């Protein structure tokens, strides 16, 4: 068990910080400022993760081979 714990380096809080999420870039084509509408960093991160998960799911579905019977 100790060997598995040593495989992952400790994560420092300053390394966890990513650059700020720009919702206007993430969801283009809106007539209003999404960053002003959702100023909370937690909400921005949630929307970013939601968008990324949606893209990953769409990619997975596209790559699945469905055989018609």
pTM for the whole structure = 0.57
* Residue span of the structural domain in which 62 resides: 19-69
In-domain check, residue 2: no
Each residue of 47-61: pLDDT tens digit?
A: 999 999 999 999 888
**What's the angle, vertex CA 16, arms to CA 13 and CA 20, rounded to 5?**
120
Each residue of 26-44: pLDDT tens digit?
A: 888 888 898 899 888 999 8
In-domain check, residue 49: yes
Q: How many domains does the chain have?
A: 1
pLDDT of residue 27: 85
In-domain check, residue 10: no
- How far CA 59 is from CA of 36, 52, 54, in Å, comes to 31, 11, 9
pLDDT at 15 over 50: no
In-domain check, residue 59: yes
In-domain check, residue 67: yes
In-domain check, residue 63: yes
In-domain check, residue 3: no
User: Which one has a higher pLDDT value, 62 or 14?
Assistant: 62
């Amino acid at each position: 068990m100790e060997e598995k714990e040593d495989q992952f380096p400790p994560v420092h809080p300053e390394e966890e910080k990513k650059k700020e999420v720009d919702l206007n870039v993430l969801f283009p084509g809106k007539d209003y400022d999404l960053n002003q509408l959702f100023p909370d960093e937690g909400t921005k991160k949630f929307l970013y993760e939601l968008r990324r998960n949606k893209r990953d799911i769409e990619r997975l579905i596209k790559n699945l081979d469905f055989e018609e019977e």
